[in-house]
A and B are shown apart, each in its own frame.
Chain A
Amino acid sequence: MKRLAMNGDQAVALSWKQIDPDVVSSYPITPQTIIVETFAEYVANGEVGTEYICSESEHSSMSMCIGASAAGARSATATASAGLAYMWEMLYIAASMRLPVVMTVANRALSGPINIHCDHSDAMGARDSGWIQIYAENVQEAYDNSIMSFRIAEDMGVRLPVMNCLDGFIVTHAIESMEPLDDDAVKKFVGDFKPIHPLLDVKSPHSFGPFDMPEYYFEHKYAQQKAMENALDVVRKVSDEYAQISGRKYDLLECYRCEDAEYVALSIGSTAGTMKQVVDDLRAEGHKVGSIKLRLFRPFPFQDVAKVLDGRKGVAVLDRALSFGAAGPLFADVCSAMFGNSSSSPAFNYIYGLGGRDVGVEDLKKVYFDMEDGTAKAVNYLGVKL
């Protein structure tokens, strides 16, 4: 397939066109809107068979995906920031009903103050909702993750909704060169949707979303947790299969020049791309540094994370979100992974880029310099004007 130039939102829309979901619900919100606009054009031109519904809110948009998925339809939507926050209640319900809804999240700061630019406070806030979360570094990954998301969500050992996260504007709006798969390859890879006891099977009636008392609620939550645990292997399996058709091999996390690195920094999303340049620059100057890109945030790959961080002189965790009164949500999980696996690498948290604050190569070098000269604090605020 020839390479194309497009932005992250268009790439996601293209993946949907190739998958041709049964139902897509939409509601506009920057920086996701290009996805539902582009897809609406496919619908208008008869390029997909999807029933495309324009909802009156994100809360309803997610409710429609839940209804459609329970009815037996492959369902997708997209949102960002306040839209994701508005869906909050319904996120948990989609996961609890074990519905494989796929949602692209164009990561954007939450209000207030209102801000349209990138940070991860929206998706990080939804981390406990029972959704699988995959983060893309660039346009190619946004496309590839979108396709893999359907397979992961619909796996019979998982059956959980998936958030395909890409950085607002940085990935959603930046035009990059990317290589899509052939339509047939995508259709074959994703396969037919196999609903479990769908509502539209009227001969076999089921009750979805019943009232759950203390006798059963805990077991249902435990079952969700088990499905999340299963998802670790399923993500690996789906990534392996995807590599066979695309030539692009993904893992739960990816290390860059980490083999002999004394100091490493872990990040997610587009910053992980910038970090590669930082590492190259510093390596050229003789620093023994490496970087790690975490692709899968939920379920959190504790073992894999602990393993790559063990034995380092310093570990920096870059969070583009902040849990007020604590620190970065990614940092908390990384520390938990290391502590649980008896890894004693010193760990430092860097909060950066909130509300789209630009973070460049020079800014990020400071993370390594701090660790090397012993000035890194437990929690650091990179680039904040004090």
Chain B
Amino acid sequence: MHEPLIFEHSQPGRRAPGLSEARQSALNLPAAFLRGDVPALPEVSELQAVRHYTRLSQLNFSIDTHFYPLGSCTMKYNPKVCNQLAMLPGFTGRHPLGPASHGQGFLSCMYELQEMLAAVTGMAEVSLTPMAGAQGEFAGVAMIMAYHRARGDDARREIIVPDAAHGTNPATAIMCGCEVRELATGPDGDIDLEALRQAVGPQTAGIMLTNPSTLGVFERQIQEVARIVHEAGGLLYYDGANLNAILGRALPGAMGFDVIHMNLHKTFSTPHGGGGPGSGAVGVNQRLAPFLPVPVVGKEGDKYRWLTETDRPQSIGRLSAFMGNAGILLRAYIYMRLLGAEGMRRVADFATLNANYLMARLASAGFQLAYPRRRASHEFIVSVKDLTRETGVTAMDFAKALLDEGFHAPTTYFPLLVPECLLIEPTETESRQDLDAFVDAMVAIRQRAFQDPEAVKAAPLTMPVRRLDDVRAARQLDLAWPVEQSA
């Protein structure tokens, strides 16, 4: 199926409904400020636009249409009601700079969300402003640095990051002006404690950890890790990417973490939206609370108000023009009210049940696990490196062949330290039947790899396009219509 560009549907002079010409007159401004040409936007009817973007949508895989076991991304069902209620005109129509006295409904939701997120993470206070996980990470590291600076401890500029960490972790540390020290993982997936003892010192600002880790296992020595880092004078940062695995089962605050970010678009089921908006709320313990990004919602008596730089003079400042992705925060709030305390614990329970079931079934079907002696958290890693050696079929080929079978591919080639890996996260909202069908597809592809490896390497064949020429995409840049004629 091929859908032309919207520009190719365009005809000069065609219009969708809008403001009538009767209300128009020229701008009352000097000509030097005005635009002389007409920007080349498409000219289409409303039906043409609706049909075009509906047809484009049908070229996508999504949670609503396909099982989407993308490891580390928590592609669970996004309840329809969360979107519908967050789009109520009272919420969408509220101006961000409107008076707090006339925004008590919205502010009460945000205050309660702060309280609930603090409760599920075991932290003292929460700021909702970071607009994605990476910005939450930025806020976290910036707070760690502000804490050391406030104590005159300026030599602490090094952030320790495990080699299995998300790429955002080291990139964030650099944005905060820190240096990065990589830490090796032990053979069983836990941190190498001896390497950690060697790494910490008076230069240590902190460590960034995901727990359960990106290897899909719980870091069993987390209390000892916390002790080593704290005794060296550093702080612990929790990357909340995998919070779904322990919701209602364990609290990062109790593990010894000083600061945490939460990916509300993962654990609290706000939409991924084709790559955003995310939401990366941060939680802190008491010692970092003065440094939280502003604004935060405060409560005085039964009234809610914004706490700003005036109330929080040590704040690391503002990370968005207003208060972050408010509408996404509302969706997370609605989701938490629907689930409640019991429902949140069920999230971790059934995400973990599904992951361990899928892992057990794939293992018994002959797939090689990266950590066969460990429990899966809410995700686990399969490595196809033996298959690659025997047949030439790689993890990427496997991923593409799964698309033809009607499944979105798992995350491939991450974490970097496991060769030819597939990181598989089924989430709690998938049924046993769907998991079984996925196993059947994996087994079928594996058989095909032995019988006819070229067929697997040719996949996908049923998608709107076959494999794309990425080299050409990068060398012969075509980033806008019409094609730019420059370098």
A and B: interacting chains? no
A: residues with CB less than 8 A from B are: none
B: residues with CB less than 8 A from A are: none
